[in-house]
Amino acid sequence: MDAERPFSGFKEVPHKADIALDVFAPNLPEMFINAAMGLYHILGIRKGTTDLEEIHITLDDIDREGLLVVFLTELLYRVEEGRVVNQFSLTIHENHLEADLKVVPVLSRQREVKAVTYHELKINKENGSYHTRLVFDL
C-alpha cells in the first residue's frame, strides 16, 4: 500500500494529539477491512510482495465496537512482528469474527500507533451504509 495514496473507504480526521479516521462501507466486513487499511495508512506501511503465510483468526467481544478494536489491535500486533495483511476474508456475526488473512513482510513504516481506542467509537448504519469514527493513540 502506498501511504501517499488514501484508500477510498476511510478519511483522516484532525483530532487533538491523537489521530482519527472516519471509516465507511456498504457492509460490516468491508468496514472492518477499510478500518484496517486506514490503520496501515496512518502507520505509513510499505509492504513486501512475497506472501509469508496464511493465518486464520477467531475473535469475540461484547459488541461490534469492541470487536473492531480487538481486530485492529490484532493487526497492530502483527505489524509489530513485521507482518502486514495483504488479503482479507472476513465473516462477522454480531460480536464474533472469523478471518482468513494473507500476510506479507513490513518493509518500513513511518509512524507508531500505541493503541486503538474506544474514544468516540460507535458503529452506525444509515441509508444502507456502515460508518464509524476511530481514534488512535499515537
Report whether 91 contacts 33 (CB < 8 A).
no
> In the chain, which residues have pLDDT < 50?
1-5
> What is the reported pTM?
0.86
Which one is the CATH code of 10-137: 2.60.40.420, 3.55.10.10, 1.10.3720.10, 3.40.50.2300?
Answer: 3.55.10.10
For the chain, the residue count is 138
Q: What is the pLDDT of residue 98?
A: 97
Q: What is the pLDDT of residue 9?
A: 74
Q: What is the pLDDT of residue 52?
A: 79
The structural domains of the chain, with segments of one domain joined by +, span 10-137
Report whether 138 contacts 19 (CB < 8 A).
yes
